[in-house]
Structure 1
Amino acid sequence: MTIRHILNAKGRDILTVLPSASVADAARMLCERKIGALPIIEEGGRLAGILSERDVVRLVVSHGAEGLSKTVSEVMTRDVVTGREEMTLNEAMEAMTRGRFRHLPICDEDRLVGIISIGDAVKRRIEDVEREAEELRTYIHAG
């Protein structure tokens, strides 16, 4: 199972924000859309970073509510681990587990083409296990 299969099934719509946006606006987007991270896209479409709920919490703890007036570029994670559509689900899950993050932007060269979350990966893994169990039940009953 590749990431391409997951993106084709879940869709490729990506909510992004510019580096110049305020953290307050980005946090509002996270809350309203019930998502955990926003890819940060520079003009021209290049991935510049990612802002996660964890980044917002760290900011508020260290700077208080005033920190929300900072720009996303001041707070975002810049060294973003990215994936490719050709990656297997296992490779993506391993990268997220090893790096201790829950969102993996998927890029083709510099261009962002999707994002998967650990929730997407777990959902797909559960679907695979359920399908395999049903196939085994069918095989046993047919024999």
Structure 2
Amino acid sequence: MDVNTILSIKGRSVATIEPDRTLGEAAKLLSEKRIGALLVSSGKEPVTGIISERDIVRAISAHGPGSLEQPLARFMTEKVVTCNGRTAIVDIMAVMTEGKFRHIPVIENGAVAGIISIGDVVKHRLAEIEAETQAIKDYIATA
């Protein structure tokens, strides 16, 4: 299984925000969309950075509530790990586990093609396990 399999089910919509917006604006957008991360894009590159709920919590913890009025570019992750649609799910799981992050943008032909979250990966993997379990039960029942 690959990333395209997940994207074909969940869709390719990606929420973005400009780097000069405030951390508070990013928090509000995350809450409104009920998501865990936003891609940061200045329009010059497909991905300038990523800002997650964790980044916001760390910023407030380190710099206080005033950080919500600061440009989010100050707190975003700039070195963003990306993948493409052909990346295997097992590779995504390994990268997320090793890097201790929960979101990976999908880049195809120099443009954002989607985003994969750890929740997407877990949901997909559980569906696979359920299908395998049912196949084994069906096999045993016919044996």
Q: Could you say which TM-score interval applies, normalised by the shorter chain? A: over 0.9
Counterpart secondary structure, 1:6: helix
Counterpart secondary structure, 2:39: strand
Matching residue of 1:18:
18
CA distance in 1, matches of 2:28, 2:137: 47
Does 128-137 or 38-47 show the bigger shift?
A: 38-47
Alignment of 1:49-64 (within 5 A): 49-64=49-64
Counterpart secondary structure, 1:47: coil
Please tell me whether the aligned partners of residues 45 and 112 of structure 1 are also in contact (alpha carbons under 8 angstroms).
no
CA distance in 2, matches of 1:97, 1:110: 26
Matching residue of 1:37:
37
Q: 1:110, CA displacement in angstroms?
A: 3.2
Please tell me whether the aligned partners of residues 7 and 114 of structure 1 are also in contact (alpha carbons under 8 angstroms).
yes
Q: 1:36, CA displacement in angstroms?
A: 1.0
Counterpart secondary structure, 1:122: helix
What is the one-letter code of the residue matched to 2:69? S
Report whether the alignment pairs 1:47 with 2:35.
no
Hey, which bits of structure 1, 4+ residues long, moved more than 3 A? none
Q: Aligned pairs, how many?
A: 143
Identity of aligned residues (%): 38
Does 98-107 or 44-53 show the bigger shift?
A: 44-53
CA-based RMSD: 1.1
Q: Structure 2 unaligned segments of length 5 or more: list them.
A: none
CA distance in 1, matches of 2:120, 2:27: 21
TM-score (ref. length: structure 1): 0.95
